Each structure stands twice: as structure tokens, then as C-alpha cells.
Structure 1
Amino acid sequence: MTELLCHTDAYLKTFKATVTAVDEELHAIILDKTAFYPGGGGQLCDTGTITADGTVYPVIKVKKSPEGILHEIDAAAGLPAVGTIINGEVDWERRYKMMRTHTAMHILCGVVFRDYGAQVTGGDMEPLKGRMDFEFENLSKDLVGVIEEAVNKEVAAARDVRVKILPREEAFQIPDLIRTKINLLPPGIPEVRTIEIVGLDLQADGGTHVANTREVGRMRIVDYKSKGKINKRIYVELDE
């Protein structure tokens, strides 16, 4: 299996690793470790480059597989062979925007849960914008304005963001660890990764985040929609 370096250091931009498997059909390689995020939880996968023996390979998609993390390469040249030592580099501009956006979604989730007790029913994001669905029966323009003001207060509060990997038994003793309506954690996993915005939000999460809420920048709620009787969608954008 591939060690996910980004789970413990989201700011790691470059790394060395060894090719452990090659998938000719997918034009992809598996590494013993990687700083590339493979996607999940509404967050897009990373892109970037892998350099091996003087050849630079563009990484266009990264995803999980039973054997490890697949790095799909867009290149006519052959793939690096098993045992090759590579240098990986994450597209940092894209990654950092995703980190800001994902943390913004947690701030929104934390504020809505704290102030209104509403659980998350869905969500999605791309660099500097995203949407989140909540169990709201009623949502108005005035209430959206109140929520926007509250989330930006949390950004300005400069709250630290902490990552921990806990034994399953310890993690599930945390109240409200799962903020989604449906528990998406795979059954039987021995450890649970948690993201804590100190003083605001603590939940299970596998994505990459900034270290402090002030890095998120101003959040704007640009739209909201009703997606059912008790399901409301909020759209958020961040300043460049």
C-alpha cells in the first residue's frame, strides 16, 4: 500500500519515492509513498509532475486502488519501471486553493452545526468554490447573510487547524464526530483521521487543510437553493 504523506503534512510540495507497480492499461504507476492527494470527500485529486531518469511525466489523475495509489500519467513515453526512484512535485497553486476551500467548507459546516444543529447531507468543491447541502427546513436571504457574517468571523478569529490520526475506538468516543447524515467511514478501519478547527469544529476527514483559518480568506455565499423539503444547498466562493 502507498503511504499518504499528505495525511500528515499537507504543505509537502516535493518528495522522493519508489515505483512499486506499473499499470500499462491505465498508463499509471503506484509508489511506496506519495504527497499527491487521491481525491475523496468532495475534494478533487492533486495533479503535478513525476520526474524519473531525466524524464518529466505530467500526473493528470490520482486515485485509490486496492493495491495502492494510482498516478495516471499523460505521456507517450513508456512508464518508469518498478524499482525506479522518482521525484514528485504537486501542483502547489491548485493544491493550496483546494486546501483553503476544504477548510472553508469545514468552517461553514461548523458554524451551521453550532448555531442551527443542521447536519450535512452532501457537498462538493473545486478550487476556490464549493457547495454544501444541509438539513434545513427553511433558509432565507436574511439567514444566509447571518451565516456569511458568522463564517467570516471564524476566518478572522485565526483558529488553528489540527490533524490527528486516532485509534478507531478513541475516535468514536468523540461526540458528533460524523457530521454527515450518512456515516461514510469504511467499516472496520483501525484508525480515523480527524480535523479540528480549534474551538469550532471537530470531525472525521481525509482531505488536506490549511493550518489556520486566516489562510482561507474572505468567504462569500453566492447563492442558495432548496433541494427538497428539508434539504437546502449553500454555494460558497473564496477570494483569489
Structure 2
Amino acid sequence: MMTELIYMKDCYVKEWDASVESVGNDGQGTFIVLDRSAFYPESGGQLTDKGFVGWNGQKTSVVKVTKGNIIKHYIVGPEPRAGEKVHCVLDWARRYALMRMHTAQHIISAVALKKFGSSTVGNQIHTDHSRLDLKPSKLSQEDLAFLEQKSNEIVDSAIPIEIYEVDREEAESNPDEYRCNFSLLPKFIRRIRIVDIKGFDKAVCAGTHVANTREVGHFKILKKENKGKETERIIYELV
């Protein structure tokens, strides 16, 4: 059973109804599989969503979500039975912080590529601070100041953000239009999800994002770290 991933089309769904397809334990803990879910599974550098599911006056916490052949929602508390109808609720404060952080990363990455020719080769999206790795990169303090200022100007521009899918062939035939390392995408993926900051950046991404850059709020670059091999790590936080 493939879980319908609600967040792929709508990142703002906070509550929804679902059915428990199965319950299991894999050594990491007890997990449930849902027929539909807006819980984001930890992947692509973005942390897992958390929240809870409730049924018949009972409630259990969702503490971690992972993806593989199935989407596993690890729970702590009472266990619903397979076939149970449940009501799911996101920890919205956590999710919204991750959305703002992830969109901020896209903005910083796009500015770094346009201004300095530096590609993003890694990232980690957290709620309190986040990071991205740039290569090739040798940024001065003045460069960092520019990166922060220009990125915040994009935020203040209140640019709408649209999420949609395109055929892989279309994206690969227009490599200058879509920010992506297509060689890292598994060959079986034929439709790819685009996060489009209108008129500024189009990036291939399966993560959660805000609908307008102004929702990011301002952010501050805390520091950079040398990671070797022409790679620098940029650490930032929301302010």
C-alpha cells in the first residue's frame, strides 16, 4: 500500500483523517502505516515532522517519520489497530519553522549560484538553525554580508512560490532553468517536483515550503566553516 503524501501538493494541511493500514515494530520502535499522510518523513536534509494521531478518545504521539518501501510513522503511546480510522494533527509550529528554513535555504542557494557560481552540494534543515554546503566556494566576509543582504531582499520582495510537477525529460532538456543535479536522481523517477520562486529560482525538491517569500521572515548568516575540497558550510538562523 502506497501512502498518499498530502504535503506534496499542499504544505499547509495541519489536520486530516486517515486509516491505519498496518502496525509493526522494526527494532527502532512501534510504527503505523497510514493510507494518507501530511507528516513529512526525514529526507533530503529536512528533519521529520512530529504530531499525534487520535481515535475513539485515545491519542498517541508521532515522534519520527521515515520513508523507504513504506512510510513508517513511529509512535509513543497507545497503539491503534490496523483498519482504525484516525485523526492526524501536525506539530504545526515545528513544521512551519522547517518550511521557512527550507525556503530560506533555496533563496541563499540561488543567490550563491547566481553571484558566486557556487552550487549547493548538501544541506540540513532544522528548526533553530540550518546549514548548506557550497562548492566551489571561497567567500570573504564581504561576500557573506552580500549573501545575507541580497537573500533578505528576496524575502522582502514577497515573491509567490508555486509547487508543481514536470516530466523529467522536460527538466533535463532545460538544465539552465531548473536548479538540480539530475545525475543524483534515480532513473526510475520520471516526474519531478519543482519549487518555483517566481521569476527567481526553480529547484527540484520534495520538501515543504512556504507560499510566499515574505513568510520566511529575515534570517542571519551566523558563520561559515571550511569543509575542504573547495567546500564551505554556511550556517544560518531565522531572526
Provide the TM-score with structure 1 as the length reference. Answer: 0.93
1:137 to 1:89, Cα distance in 2 relative to 1, 3 A: closer
Report the counterpart of residue 3 of structure 1 in structure 2.
4
Which string of whole-angstrom CA distances, capped at 9 and with x for unpartnered residues, describes residues 130-156 of structure 1?
111111342111111111111011001
Distance in 1 between residues matched to 2:37 and 2:232, nearest whole Å: 37
Using the aligned pairs only, state the percent identity. 38
Report the counterpart of residue 54 of structure 2 in structure 1.
51
Once the two structures are overlaid, the 10-residue window that deviates more, 206-215 or 123-132, is 123-132
Distance in 1 between residues matched to 2:118 and 2:99, nearest whole Å: 24
Alpha-carbon contact 2:18-2:34 (below 8 Å) kept: yes
Q: For 1:7-26, list aligned pairs within 5 A.
A: 7-25=8-26, 26=29
In the alignment, structure 1 segments of 5+ residues that lack a partner are none
Q: For 1:97-108, list aligned pairs within 5 A.
A: 97-108=97-108
1:158 pairs with 2:158: yes
Specify which of 69, 72, 75 is matched with residue 74 of structure 2: 72
AA partner of residue 148 (structure 1): E
Distance in 1 between residues matched to 2:76 and 2:82, nearest whole Å: 18
Report the counterpart of residue 35 of structure 1 in structure 2.
38
How far the C-alpha of 1:233 sits from its partner, in A, is 1.1
How far the C-alpha of 1:3 sits from its partner, in A, is 0.6
1:101 to 1:183, Cα distance in 2 relative to 1, 3 A: farther
In the alignment, structure 2 segments of 5+ residues that lack a partner are none
Report the counterpart of residue 84 of structure 1 in structure 2.
84
Which string of whole-angstrom CA distances, capped at 9 and with x for unpartnered residues, describes residues 119-173 of structure 1?
1121112014211111134211111111111101100111111100222222323
Classify the secondary structure of the residue corresponding to 1:110. Answer: helix
Distance in 1 between residues matched to 2:148 and 2:92, nearest whole Å: 28
Alpha-carbon contact 1:15-1:89 (below 8 Å) kept: yes
Q: For 1:92-171, list aligned pairs within 5 A.
A: 92-171=92-171
AA partner of residue 82 (structure 1): A
Provide the TM-score with structure 2 as the length reference. Answer: 0.93
Distance in 2 between residues matched to 1:121 and 1:165, nearest whole Å: 22
How far the C-alpha of 1:189 sits from its partner, in A, is 1.2
Distance in 2 between residues matched to 1:156 and 1:190, nearest whole Å: 35
Distance in 1 between residues matched to 2:40 and 2:201, nearest whole Å: 22
AA partner of residue 206 (structure 1): A
Classify the secondary structure of the residue corresponding to 1:227. Answer: strand
AA partner of residue 238 (structure 2): L
Distance in 2 between residues matched to 1:179 and 1:130, nearest whole Å: 20
Alpha-carbon contact 2:124-2:130 (below 8 Å) kept: yes
Report the counterpart of residue 225 of structure 1 in structure 2.
225
How far the C-alpha of 1:198 sits from its partner, in A, is 1.0
How far the C-alpha of 1:226 sits from its partner, in A, is 1.5
Aligned residue pair count = 235
How far the C-alpha of 1:199 sits from its partner, in A, is 1.6
